[in-house]
Amino acid sequence: MRGASNPMIVPALTVLMAASAPAAGPAAPAQTDPPAAALLFNEQDLMFLDHMTVHHEQAVVMSRMVPERTGREEFVRFAGYVLRAQAAEIAQMRSLMGLAAARGLPMPDHSPDGDPPMAGMLSSAQMAALEAASGAEFERLWLEGMIHHHQGAIDMSQAQQRQQLANGRRPYGLAVLVEEILVEQRNEITQMRAWLEEWGLADAP
């Protein structure tokens, strides 16, 4: 009869298909991703955040000295900008370290010490001299000190970029922050050097 199936064909096909199917082997091990914390920051990243926070804190202290020790409005505005920018970056760095701690990453336990505690920072004697000065002397000491301070931050940021490049990484939030520090502080150094010349402070003893 047209269209009728041969009842002997179906069982035969079933046996043939079963025989041709590949034998089931042991289950492949499941691919496991590395812990999320391991992808976030490495030891050098956390050290940079810890040290740069201390570095920025001194810049904030220096910037707070300016309004009472100079009559130059542009200088006061500049110091206010530096203060706000550095304080905002401190908050950002502390937030990143808090995120790392929440993921179980060990925090650096060897904070910088010494006098000064790291390259680019002013010593306690330099900070005392700055605090005691006013007028043109303060302006010179502050500008020279902050140029030195900014250059230290640039050196630290460049070292951080080199280790990121060597490891093929762009740490969350940190890579962009490093780039911003480099751009901002280079621009600010240019402005401060221009003022040293313009205000006749560059050749002062």
In a domain, 5, yes or no: no
Name which of 140, 141, 155, 142 is nearest 185 in CA terms.
155
Q: Based on the structure, what is the number of domains in the chain?
A: 1
Q: How confident is the model at residue 118 (pLDDT cuts 50, 70, 90)?
A: confident
**Domain membership flag for residue 133:** yes
Residue 23 falls within a domain, yes or no?
Answer: no
Has residue 20 been placed in a domain? no
Q: Which residues of 37-49 are buried (b: 16+ CB within 10 A; e: fewer)?
A: eeebbbebbbbbb
User: What global pTM score does this model have?
Assistant: 0.79
Backbone angles phi, psi at 113, to 5 degrees: -135, -170
List of residues 6+ apart from 111 with CB closer than 8 A: 50, 51, 54
CATH number where 142 lies: 1.20.1260.10
The answer as to whether 126 is a domain residue is: yes
Whether residue 47 lies inside any domain: the answer is yes
Average pLDDT of the residues in 85-109: 94
Domain that holds residue 174: 37-106+115-198
Q: What is the pLDDT of residues 43-60, one digit of tens each?
A: 999 999 999 999 999 999
In a domain, residue 11? The reply is no
Specify the length of the chain in residues: 205
The answer to whether the CB of 150 falls within 8 A of the CB of 122 is: no
Confidence check: pLDDT of 3 > 80: no
First to last CA, the chain: 117
**What confidence category does residue 109 fall into, taking pLDDT thresholds of 50, 70 and 90?**
confident
DSSP label at 168? T
CA distance 68 to 72: 11
